[in-house]
Structure 1
Amino acid sequence: MFRQRIWISAFVACAAMRVAHADATVEKAPAQPPHPLTVPAPVQLAQGVYVMEGNGEAVAPANRGVVANNGFIVGPRGVTVIDTGSSYRYGRAMLDAIRTVTPLPVERVIITHQAPEFVFGTAAFRDRDIPILAHRRAAELIRDRCWICLKNLRRTLGEDEMAGSRVTVPDQTVDSTTTLDSGGRALQLLYFGPASTPGDLAVLDTATGVLFAGGLVSIGRIPELRNESIPGWLAALRQIASLDAHIVVPGFGPPVPPAGIAKTGEYLRELDAGVRRAYASGVGLSEAMHTVQTPDFRQYRLYATAQPANVQRLYLQLEKQ
């Protein structure tokens, strides 16, 4: 486990900076509890399975970063947490919310992917010596890149809101689909290959058929292309659709039946086709970012910002081919 906190003084040489960002970014947990944060009330989806649903918007001071979905699964022995929110303060509030449901201890945290809205509450669990698990590639990206995300969150939400938040690298990793017992509950950690990110995991509670899809599914909010291209993502969605799942919890948006995930795939295909047409027609990047549209998804959250960003990423990928 990554037990030590790495402190960075003003005189640390540049060569040491990457190491310093690896497991902590400069501050340890607050000695006193932070200002209270109201988090979504846990909603029971099935026996022992709870979701805490964010509002699906972009992170902003008004929502205090409470935008993504996370949840937990209560077994006969303990609790498994799925994703931890965007701040240390959220992680602490999540622990309090779990205690309103069960007195059982949290045995493990599973991080589905490395997006900042899902990982920065993890430090609150690390401070209680709770194991943190992710796919190996997600853990590597958290170690190598999440200090940048933390800087951006501090800039957006402010130092006070992000007090105690730090990069917390998972101490347990998997490389492929794995079945494990966590809290006395049989869980399948599903890896479909690089998709929305290189290390996406989906978590299936085998007793109830509830699937936490993490970054693979977004409902009512434009999916953001981050590190990978579309074919792997579409392949992952097809495999999810073939599972014996009853409810799918997306990273953003309300839980849906398995058929509901089709919208994510429809957006990705429509986006991909539009960018390819523009590129083949000789439309320049700047023009494509304004003209390539996905009309069926104009009402989705983040359309004004995520749509042109997605067009840019796909266009640049085509230029490299």
Structure 2
Amino acid sequence: MTTEAVVKSRPVVSAGSITKGRRRPTDVLAYIGIYASAAFSVLLLVGIIGYVLVKGYSMISWSFLTGVTSVLNDTVGIAGNILNTLYIIVLTMLIATPIGIGAAVYLNEYAKPGKLVTAIEFATQILSGIPSIIFGLFGMIFFGQTLHLSYCILTGALTLVLMVLPLVIRNTQEALKTVPDSYRQGAIGLGTGKWYMIRTILLPSAMPGIITGVILAIGRIVGESAALLFTAGSDGMLPITVKQFLDKIFASGGTLTIQLYLSMSKGQYDVAFGIAVILLVIVLLINMLTKLLARRFDVHTRE
């Protein structure tokens, strides 16, 4: 029998017939469950955003964004809370970012695998799972009372540093692990020093993941309230002079989430939903910024 005859005698199997013939009822149920879960997640997100927008959109105005709450003047504003939020974000990330990236570089590039590295990684995992209110209690006792900082923005920022450090460290570690070992071997083979190789090759290659971790940490700071209730206070006044602005770091300051909580506790639901709208916009901008910066600093997609 010739080769041509053998080929002609073989049955022709159409593409997809194997999978179609083996599709079982459990597979169909699994597909239905997957698509139903995805649809439910999307609908839940759209429902929450829509409900908050409907309830809080009427409160959004220029005076609401640029004024402060005053009983005497009968005004409602969140400008002071926005400033306090930005203040805490900047202070926290100025401290947490270099420490977190430095710790991740040490653990991934310098430290030899062993009990010490395992203990440090285990400690970061434990820190990331501790409830935020416990961080607030510790911050109030240690930073507020032991170090005599009392209720102030600095106390809140130092407490948040402890909360976001595990997030920055773990994201930086995972970003560094994605860099191929051939980059390291090639750089060392060319005679470069280890720090020069880390600074010029590894960190730029891992930058998208590092930026993602930093911005996720900012997102956690924006949404935090429990820890700041015990440490930063709730004052929402705007500084008038430059000296007051500089001294604000040692003064009480309530963030947007603190003001939202206080408004809800006082029954001011329209104000609370107005603040919720601002927080949703901030979260949306943070996610957009994450994608933009990750794409901008991705060395693999640069032209």
- Shorter-chain TM-score: what band? under 0.3
Greater fraction of residues in strand: 1
- Higher RCO, 1 or 2 (CA under 8 Å, sep at least 6)? 2
Q: TM-score, normalised by structure 2?
A: 0.21
Return the structure number with greater helix share.
2
Structure 1-normalised TM-score? 0.20
